[in-house]
Homo-oligomer: A and B are copies of this chain.
Amino acid sequence: MINTLYLPELREMLAAEDQSGLAEFCRTLHPARIAEFMEGLSPQEAWQVIQTGDRATCAEIFGFLPEEIQIKILETGDRQALSQLIADLPADDRVDLLNRVDTTIAEDVLSLVPSDERRDIRRLQAYPEGTAGAVMTTEMAKLPESLTVGTALEELGRQAKDLETIYYIYIVDAEDHLRGVVSARQLVTRLGRPETPLADIMERNLVTVEATDDQELVAGQVADYDFLAIPVVDQQQRLVGIITYDDVIDVLREEAEEDAYRAAAVEPLEDGYLQTSLLVLAWKRGFWLFTLFLAALLTAFALKSYEQIIDQVPWLVFFIPLIMSSGGNSGGQSATLIIRALANKDVRLSDTRRVLARELKMGLLLGSTLSLVGYVVGFLLLDGPQPLELLTIPITLLIVVLFGTLCGAGLPLLFRRLGVDEALMSTPFVTVLIDIGGIVIYMMVAVRMIGGLLEQVRPAL
């Protein structure tokens, strides 16, 4: 639901060109809430509203607008005003944004941006998406070692409004090599002794990341260490940027989103569901759906090859979906548990034997419970088969669930060992594999359990 609380007033002020009223509106609330209240406006109207605020407020509110609105504003707004906006946006956000609009427009706007800001944008644009360099900002507090607590605080006060965070101050030498870090907390607790040299209080043992590191890895590190920000260095250990906690939160959300899509065999979306065009969405789903379909076709071939068995014992057919779904579900559970455990470093490759032993026990436990129910239901549903023949159902269920848990747990471990990201192995994919195995197991058990079948069908197996 769009928040329409201020919508009538906003429209009225826009119609009356009430600049001071609009400027007042931009000032009174948190920028994120103002962005929320403007959801009902067109991109042009929203742009008109936020331009009434001062430059900093305008850039802040703009930063909280939904991305598709931001892009529309960039595509339609006045170049001069936009270049000012771009200069005021956080270094990391504007690069993301410029990468998403039409190149001609981006170049047009960029040509009007002050040259030092433009250089900064070009530098960040050079890092491929998904790396630390592409997420970092270059607006960090960077001070020389020679300062004291007092002079550092003064310098910080001067720079504060242009910085993304002032809470970590990075100490560098003349060539920007990272020497240490001082927190604003340390400075504030030493207010009484302003002559203390930074070199005396700075932390020299730093955790840093390289600009080319994977963003997911970096996010995990900031999250593990409870850092507010982490410094990004180049190969010569020169400070090139920082990644702040809010970017880390964005990365974590994005990755969780991607994992959820992958688990359902959908290629991750870049935009919202309704913003993604039908054809793009069809491709992102169709690719995996089609791959799974081709794999599932094998089940048709498998069943065809057991035609004789099914012909002779038609009741076997009734339990095909049940057996397949039991194997698939237990396998999907194991796969998810192991993929998560590997990601959280709860399980390592060296635990392979222990994991498989656990899943073996788990399969026996779960499989035998399902078997029991399966046997009773089979008994109630069918009157044809002998009690002994009916044992095909529980025996198959047990083996299939066991097969499911072992495959589900074993495949991610195998992927990891081969150096392939195990998260790429989606649950539906595991399920299809187990489906095919399930059919083969079912038919093999039937042949052994149902009298008179063995001799006749042996050639077919």
Contacts and interface: CB of A to CB of B under 8 A. Distances in A.
Contacts of A223: 246, 249-250, 253
Contact of A365 (B166, B282, B301, B303): B282
A189 B205 contact: no
Interface string A304-327: 100100110011011111101110
Contacts of A281: 337, 362
Nearest to A159: B189
Interface of A is mostly: helix
Interface string A126-146: 000000000000000000000
A370 B296 CA distance: 12
A71 to B, nearest CB: 16
Contacts of A102: none
Interface stretch (A73-81, A110-118, A210-218, A271-279): A271-279
A33 interface: yes
A234 B42 CA distance: 38
Interface in A315-361: 315, 317-322, 324-326, 329-330, 332-333, 335-338, 340-341, 344, 346-348, 350-351, 354-355, 358, 361
Contact of A226 (B246, B301, B320, B344): B246
A185 interface: yes
Interface in A246-264: 246, 248-250, 252-253, 255-257, 259-261, 263-264
Contact of A157 (B160, B191, B351, B427): B191
B322 A299 contact: yes
Contacts of A301: 381
Interface stretch (A43-51, A283-291, A447-455): A283-291
Contact of A347 (B32, B274, B299): B274
A379 interface: no
Nearest to A405: B285
A192 interface: yes
A377 interface: yes
A30 B300 contact: no
B32 A224 contact: yes
* Most chain B CB inside 10 Å of its own CB: which residue of A255, A282, A350, A355: A282
Interface string A163-193: 0001100000000000000001100111110
Contact of A263 (B257, B260, B272, B289): B260
A261 to B, nearest CB: 6
**Interface size class, chain A:** 35 or more
Nearest to A408: B264
A228 B329 CA distance: 41
Given A188-B157, A273-B341, A340-B261, A348 B432 contact: no
Contacts of A374: 293
Interface in A370-401: 370, 373-374, 377, 381-382
A237 interface: no
Contact of A188 (B160, B304, B333, B358): B160
27 contacts: A29-B205, A157-B189, A166-B184, A166-B188, A223-B253, A248-B249, A249-B249, A252-B256, A256-B256, A256-B260, A259-B260, A264-B337, A265-B333, A272-B347, A273-B355, A274-B358, A282-B365, A290-B370, A293-B325, A293-B326, A294-B373, A299-B321, A300-B381, A304-B318, A317-B317, A320-B320, A324-B324
The 9 closest A-B pairs by CB, nearest first: A256-B256, A272-B346, A264-B336, A273-B341, A299-B321, A226-B246, A303-B318, A296-B325, A32-B225
Interface of A: 1, 28-30, 32-33, 64, 153-154, 156-157, 160-161, 166-167, 184-185, 188-192, 205, 207, 222-226, 228, 245-246, 248-250, 252-253, 255-257, 259-261, 263-266, 269, 272-275, 278, 281-282, 285-286, 288-290, 292-294, 296-297, 299-301, 303-304, 307, 310-311, 314-315, 317-322, 324-326, 329-330, 332-333, 335-338, 340-341, 344, 346-348, 350-351, 354-355, 358, 361-362, 365-366, 369-370, 373-374, 377, 381-382, 427-428, 431-432, 435, 439
